[in-house]
A and B are shown apart, each in its own frame.
Chain A
Amino acid sequence: MNNILILAGREFRDGLRNRWVMSATLLLTLFALTLALLGSAPTGEVKTSPLAVTVVSLSSLSIFLLPLMALLLSHDAVVGDIERGTMALLLSYPVARTEVLIGKYLGHLGILALATLIGYGIAGLLTQWVSTGSLEADVQTWLPWLVLMASSILLGACFLALGYLVSTCVHERPTAAGIAIGLWLFFVLIYDMAVLGILVADQGRFLTPQLLSWLLTINPADVYRLINLTGFADTARFSGMAALSGHARLGLPALSAILLAWTVLPFVFASLIFQRKQL
């Protein structure tokens, strides 16, 4: 446990030093603020929480941004250290390989979580303050926002784990980068387009709504979308996913569990492969 904390601390501090944390936080804050302030403007007349509107636009952004950031951080984590030689030195110390992997992972997750909390936190507080003039609101208003932040971190955790799996499997850094980009394209863009294409071509003969929602619960990016866009009545109405949310029978706990599984399983595989890896 001690070793894991030492390693996580080092990884996190490295992120602070090489400006990763800073640029990630700035990027997220900037995007979140832009979307929050622009997005809440047209709803001024409607009696909906401006926060809910911002959750919709921000979650669409997160789907692209967070997996990308997570993969950028993680694809290099193992193969990069092996190529640089730091891994061989580290493993000559009395640390278990699993500890090395978990420690590094937690450090990276800390970087991502901090950037998300600061970036989206500022945007959320500002949105609420600009629209209502105060930060006082009931739990119901804040809940979608809190869920957005928590699920964003969980989405990041998924893709971090996927990145670690890629990084332990390959032998060269460029390969890891290539596969990471491929994964990102697949989960974030291609998967949805493919489902959409099938949906259009199929004309509802074979692809039942049940099958569709099942297809969407396989992809972590879509699970994230389901959590944030259909989880609450307000956001579902705004995102145009109200119809879909009717079919999605899975609640927040189940959807979170899927994301968690997408985190744990790749990581366990990565750990098993790393155990057998010859440096």
Chain B
Amino acid sequence: MNPVRIELQGVTKRYGDSVAVQQVDLRLHAGECVALAGHNGAGKSTLIKLMLGLIHSDGGTVRVLGDDPRSGRAPARLHVGYLPETVALHPAMTGLETLAFYARLKRQPVAGNLALLERVGIARAATKRVSTYSKGMRQRLALAQALLGSPRVLLLDEPTTGLDPALRQNFYEIVNELRAAGATLLLSSHALAEIEGQADRIVVMKNGCKVADGTLEELRRDARLPLVLRLRLADETPEGAVTLPAVWQRLEARRYEWRLPMAEKMNALRSLAALPAEVQDIQLVQPGLDEMYAHFLRREET
């Protein structure tokens, strides 16, 4: 396993009476892209803020690149990139000035800034003020500042909200390059389907607790969600004219559904051939990330 870059042990954070994060253990390794999922207020941003040292934990230890992020001017911060949830950049500065300002703070040469703006696709607006930028452009500029100095750790809080699909594609290309270069990435999101295929591992948070942590395959196995087959009869078929095997549940007129465990998938598919001729269409619905995610959130409640 690659070296550990971020380590959280039994971390708890309270705001007054409410617990934002409770007893969370988390390890992120080099060259790993981890998705942090959870609904709003589940503690995703709190975790990221703890890793940045913006807030202090009430228990447990936080280590980023071997350092305690609270220790004021942590030199480790030179190698950490952060993309905040709400992109906040100074509107009166131009894109290039914004990047120069942050590059100087990170002790990086400003010479590479234009290339960086090109990489995120806003080189043409480099000398325009941020106040004239669209939301997507601001998001890209914010991403560019997070990429300054090829960070070893990248914490991206809701990075793809507000990006159109083309941009999102572009964004994940950059993510993949960074991962290949050995960076540790943490993406938080409440739309899990978006991360599908991008993250090596998924951590699901709920009410401040970690409820799932593993690869997509592991989570899928763990969730044991049913496969769903949906069937539609031809439009003119009168009600009751066709008898289907008992496993099919009637949804509405001429529409039926069969929920079955994953393991029986092949057998079920073979049995479909025996269905009567009135069956016009069959749909196979795999449990997606969003259903799995909903499942993990539900499971904790019961």
Contacts and interface: CB of A to CB of B under 8 A. Distances in A.
Given A91-B52, A91-B54, A278-B55, A85 B88 contact: yes
B113 to A, nearest CB: 15
Nearest to A16: B92
Given A10-B101, A278-B55, A17 B93 contact: yes
B77 interface: yes
B93 A93 contact: no
A237 interface: no
Contact of B105 (A3, A18, A278): A3
Chain A CB count within 10 A is highest, among B53, B84, B88, B107, for B88
A86 B89 contact: yes
Q: Please report whether the interface of chain A is mostly helix, strand, loop or mixed according to DSSP.
A: helix
A3 B90 CA distance: 17
Contacts of A2: 104
Contact of A85 (B74, B86, B155): B86
Interface in A71-105: 84-86, 88-97, 99
A230 B56 CA distance: 51
Interface residues of A, number: 24
A93 B54 CA distance: 11
B287 to A, nearest CB: 36
B105 A6 contact: yes
B69 to A, nearest CB: 9
Contacts of A85: 84-88
Contacts of B54: 88, 91-92, 278-279
A23 to B, nearest CB: 14
Contact of A94 (B49, B56, B106): B106
A192 interface: no
Nearest to A19: B92
A92 to B, nearest CB: 4
Given A278-B54, A278-B56, A88 B49 contact: yes
B82 interface: yes
A85 to B, nearest CB: 3
B102 A86 contact: no
A94 B104 contact: no
Contacts of B66: none
B78 interface: yes
B80 interface: yes
Interface in B209-240: none
B72 interface: yes
Contacts of A96: 72-73
Given A6-B104, A97-B72, A92 B52 contact: yes
A14 B75 contact: no
Nearest to A278: B55
Contacts of A6: 101, 104-105
B101 to A, nearest CB: 6
Interface in B74-121: 74-75, 77-78, 80, 82, 84-90, 92-93, 101-102, 104-107
A53 to B, nearest CB: 40
Contacts of B86: 85
Of B74, B75, B104, the most chain A CB neighbours within 10 A belong to: B104
Interface in A1-28: 2-3, 6, 10, 13-14, 17-18
Interface of A: 2-3, 6, 10, 13-14, 17-18, 84-86, 88-97, 99, 278-279
11 contacts: A85-B85, A85-B86, A88-B82, A89-B82, A89-B84, A89-B142, A91-B54, A93-B106, A94-B78, A97-B72, A279-B49
Interface of B: 49, 52-56, 72-75, 77-78, 80, 82, 84-90, 92-93, 101-102, 104-107, 142, 145, 155
Going nearest first, the 6 A-B pairs with the smallest beta carbon separation are: A85-B88, A17-B92, A92-B82, A94-B77, A96-B73, A279-B54
